[in-house]
Structure formats: C-alpha cells, structure tokens
C-alpha cells in the first residue's frame, strides 16, 4: 500500500471515529423503559388505581442532546383502566444546555417544579400512591404545556429559583373562555451539606391558577363542577386531574438525608414533610353558601430507611382537610345547597426488596380513614427500569 493511500485510509478512520464520538454525545437517542405493575386489594380516595391486577404508571422515555445548546426529552405514560390501555404524553420538551450565569430554559410539556414530589416521576416514590393531598389538589402529579426559567445561584450552598407559565388546561375549573396562559408558578429551594453524612433542603412554592376558581354561567356545566365533581361519589372515579381547584396554591417542604460518609449504596435514611394549602375556591355566589371554606389544606410526612443494599422500609402519615358539596347547584345568579367538612387520613407502611438500583418489588399496607368509612388496603407492586435511566433528584 503506497503512502498516499495509507494516509487517506488513516484520515477516513479518524473521521469515522470522530463522527461516532459526536453521535454518541449529541445525536444518539437514549431509550429508557419503566415497567410498573400492581395488585391492589381496596381503593383509595381521589385515586385512579384500580382494585385487582392492573398496569401501573409505566413509561417509555426518549432523550438526547440535540446539539451543544439544547437537549430534548419525550416521555409517554401507559396505564390500564377497565381493561383498556390508556396512553398519554407526559413530557415532550427541550431545555437549554449552555446559557450563561446559571440560567436554564425549558419549553414544551413537562412536570411542574411546584413542591417537592411533583417534579419527580412516580416510579421514584417509596409508595404505590402519592399522599392524599397530592392526589386531590394536583391529580398526583401536575404536568402541562408551557415554559420554565430557572436560575442556580453561584453560592457555596444550594440556592435555586424557578418560575413557570402554563396553559393551565389540566387545572381548569371549566371556564368558557379560559386564559391563554392560565397558570403561573414560582419556587425557591435552599439546601446544604451539614457534613459528609447529612444534607438538607427547604422549599417554598406558589401557584396562581387564573382558571381555577369555580364560577357561574357559560356553555360549560359549572353547576356540575361545583357540586357533583367534588361530591364523595366521584372521588374514586378515574381521573388524571385534581378533585379540587382554586385560584392560589401554596406549598412548603423540607427534606433531610443521611448516608454514612455520603455513600447511599449500603445504607441511607430520607425524611420528607410537605404542607399544601389551596385558597380561593369559589366566586361570591358559591362562597356565600353555608359551610363553604375559603381554603383546603393537607400535610404528609415520610421516612424511608434503606437498611441494606437490597431492603428498605418506609412509613408515611398524611392528612387532608377538605369539604363535600351537598346538592350544590346554581341558577342564574343564585346558588343553592351547602358544604360539609370532611377529612382524609392515611397511614402507610411499605417493605421493598431491591434486586438492584433498577428493580424493586414492594409490599404495602395502608390504613385509610374518611368521613364515611375506614379501609385497610393491601398492595403488591413491582417497578423495573431498563435502558437509559436518568439520575434521581435530591
């Protein structure tokens, strides 16, 4: 082989290797799958989980760096309901990679950064269901179409600010002409390491829903929304949306984590508590009815202890103070009916076997106490992931 041909061959191999490297870092699509299956004996208030065997919150995720400036993510959710498989696009967004001064922009459909749990995917949870206040006020997890701007401060401790604007369609109370941008939210998170083994984070969140307050009039049936959809008979119906909407939602959360010398593989503890309050539920006609509350509130506290690399136990207590609409309806500018107080309490304990970082089998017992009855709920669940799997947040 002459020198010219040898040089051309070397150049060709070098170019191919460079293209392969670029492909792996920029245009190569990563594919990940989450398989969630469950058997449940009993059903929860404000839940879309069914009794018996069902396909849970399974996901197919595609992600890749589009170029050196943007990344793209697409997540499709699959669930079973009444023998049918439901498919919903949970995420489809782009986000910036190279903005200066710690800023980042996200646009498309994505999970809101409101609160501690909401931005996390359901398969990250230590329980088969999110706490009652999350199911009632956020439909378990709130995702929508919009844009997000976040800023990570250049400090020695963790300090981040996030603001969002959404269409608000998933939190719409039924307005005839809803605002084009229905929801605005903002959050601040601060945290730090105490030492090599302990760390903490505290967050405050606020969400303004311009279409959340229930009103009279229009083509949509607001009377049904004000009464029946908040009635106890509909709480168990299958819905990915919240059971209650209002104009302002506020949240505060605190998380503490411990792992020996920061090594989470063999042993770790996580404690989280979160408080949510929904204000301004009704317009004047509804709010004047007997028993109508100006706000609904709830809280939960969770502790998870992974005592070996393959076993963990989790405990959770939660409470949600809400209300029932008793034959509430409106005619013209007059409303009739009344509201009564209700309370939802839940106590959960789960034991999980972790086959690896990517697979677990969980047994769970839940004691649920409502205004009408008390239930004991048992479930057995598996959550398995394969393919590309992004690191979980704090």
Quote the pLDDT of residue 14: 39
Q: What is the mean pLDDT of each run of 10 residues along the chain (394 residues)?
A: 38 38 62 95 87 90 95 93 86 96 97 96 94 96 97 97 96 85 97 96 97 64 39 42 94 97 92 97 81 91 97 98 82 76 96 94 97 93 91 83
The structural domains of the chain, ordered by start, are 93-387 (2.40.160)
Distance of CA 76 to CAs 32, 73, 89, 358, Å?
11, 10, 5, 19
Q: How many CB atoms lie within 10 A of CB 137?
A: 28
Q: Which two tokens stand for residue 220?
A: 């949509």
Tell which residue, 31, 39, 30, has the closest CA to residue 59: 31
Quote the pLDDT of residue 371: 85
Distance CA 30, CA 64 (A): 6
Quote the pLDDT of residue 337: 81
Quote the pLDDT of residue 351: 98
Q: Which two tokens stand for residue 43?
A: 């059903």
Contact 79, 57 (CB under 8 A): yes
Distance CA 294, CA 167 (A): 25
CB burial readout 105-123, b (16+ within 10 A) else e: ebebbbbbbbbbbbbbbbb
Quote the pLDDT of residue 393: 83
Quote the pLDDT of residue 216: 62
């Amino acid at each position: 082989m002459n020198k010219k041909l040898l040089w051309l061959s070397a150049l060709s191999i070098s170019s191919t290797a460079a293209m392969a490297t670029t492909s792996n870092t920029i245009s190569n699509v990563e594919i990940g799958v989450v398989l969630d299956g469950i058997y449940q004996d009993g059903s929860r208030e404000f839940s879309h989980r069914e009794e018996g065997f069902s396909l849970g919150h399974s996901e197919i995720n595609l992600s890749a760096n589009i170029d050196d400036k943007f990344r793209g993510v697409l997540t499709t959710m699959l669930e079973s309901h009444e023998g049918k498989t439901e498919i919903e696009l949970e995420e489809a967004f782009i986000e910036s990679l190279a903005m200066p001064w710690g800023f980042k922009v996200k646009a498309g459909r994505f999970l809101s950064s409101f609160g501690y749990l909401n931005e996390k995917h359901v398969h990250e949870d230590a329980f088969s269901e999110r706490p009652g206040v999350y199911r009632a006020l956020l439909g378990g997890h709130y995702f929508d179409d919009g844009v997000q701007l976040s800023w990570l401060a250049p400090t020695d401790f963790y300090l981040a600010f996030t603001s969002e604007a959404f269409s608000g369609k998933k939190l719409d109370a039924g307005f005839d002409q809803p605002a084009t941008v229905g929801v605005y939210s903002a959050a601040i998170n601060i945290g730090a390491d105490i030492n090599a083994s302990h760390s903490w984070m505290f967050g405050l969140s606020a969400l303004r829903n311009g279409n959340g307050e229930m009103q009279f009039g229009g083509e949509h049936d607001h009377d049904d929304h004000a009464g029946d959809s908040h009635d106890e008979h509909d709480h168990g119906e299958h819905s990915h949306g919240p059971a209650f909407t209002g104009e302002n939602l506020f949240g505060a959360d605190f998380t503490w984590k411990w792992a020996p010398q920061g090594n989470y593989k063999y042993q770790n503890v996580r404690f989280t508590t979160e408080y949510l309050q929904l204000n301004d539920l009704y317009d004047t006609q509804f709010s004047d009815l007997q028993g109508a509350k100006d706000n609904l509130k709830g809280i939960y506290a969770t502790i998870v202890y992974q005592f070996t690399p393959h076993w963990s136990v989790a405990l959770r207590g939660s409470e949600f103070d809400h209300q029932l609409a008793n034959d509430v309806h409106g005619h013209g500018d007059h409303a009739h009916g009344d509201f009564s107080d209700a309370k939802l309490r839940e106590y959960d304990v789960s034991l999980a076997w972790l086959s690896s970082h990517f697979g677990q089998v969980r047994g769970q017992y839940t004691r649920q106490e409502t205004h009408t009855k008390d239930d004991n709920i048992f479930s057995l669940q598996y959550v398995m992931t394969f393919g590309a799997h992004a690191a979980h947040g704090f």
